[in-house]
Structure 1
């Protein structure tokens, strides 16, 4: 039951925060720099696959070990930030290296957002799971 609470809490926080971040931080910069490449409506299935898998990996490497070993929330935050930097950094720096219209502003904004989003979501998920356990 704790694992289900952990997953639902983490993905819930992640989705709520990412909706805000994508709407107000990321979208304006991406529209400015690569607007013609963006879809009018995002594709739901690939988004679902990414979110479901990303949160599962985050739980595997950070949240479940934190619960099993009674790690601090600072430990969760720091390790989740590393996962966020790896994931969002891979995406952003690969695009920056290979796509002509990718900008340093896009890299900095999305990378920073991904690190923050991942760290906060994992930390909140662990805190909520502990509260209900």
Structure 2
């Protein structure tokens, strides 16, 4: 397996591990409460369309590798990775959340801010991890 494919697969795994922990274990009640009638539920639990989530979980790490990772400054890689990842995540999640806020009647303001912040944190952590993984794969 080539370097770039290993880096991509590793980044997807890291992204999944962090995001699914956050969404599934730490914040499911918040998201369920904020989404209300908009939420796709099975019984009392959130039940996303997994094929659609799969597309998201492939695209966001690809964006990290294409748009954030190349900007990391090797002279200060940790801070630089966190900063570029955060900017990428806030941009990506912000466009999604605030477009929903502007176009959907019942989209919650609190969810827009919280999810945009989470996107920044998530992508900053994953960009820093991807930088380390890239160096480790060598």
Which residue, out of 50, 53, 58, partners 2:56?
A: 50
Which residue, out of 88, 112, 119, partners 2:117?
A: 112
After superposition, the CA RMSD in angstroms is: 1.9
CA-to-partner distance for each residue in 1:51-96, whole Å, 9 max, x for gaps? 2122112111122454xx7462322221111110111000111111
Number of residues paired by the alignment? Answer: 131
TM-score, normalisation: structure 2: 0.82
Q: CA deviation at 1:127?
A: 0.5
TM-score, normalisation: structure 1: 0.85
List, as ranges, runs of 4+ consecutive aligned residues in structure 1 with deviation greater than 6 Å. Answer: none
CA-to-partner distance for each residue in 1:88-126, whole Å, 9 max, x for gaps? 000111111222322222112111111000110111011
Larger RCO (CA within 8 A; separation ≥ 6): 1
Instruction: Answer 1 or 2: which has greater helix percent.
Output: 1
Segments of 5+ residues of structure 2 without an aligned counterpart are: 42-46
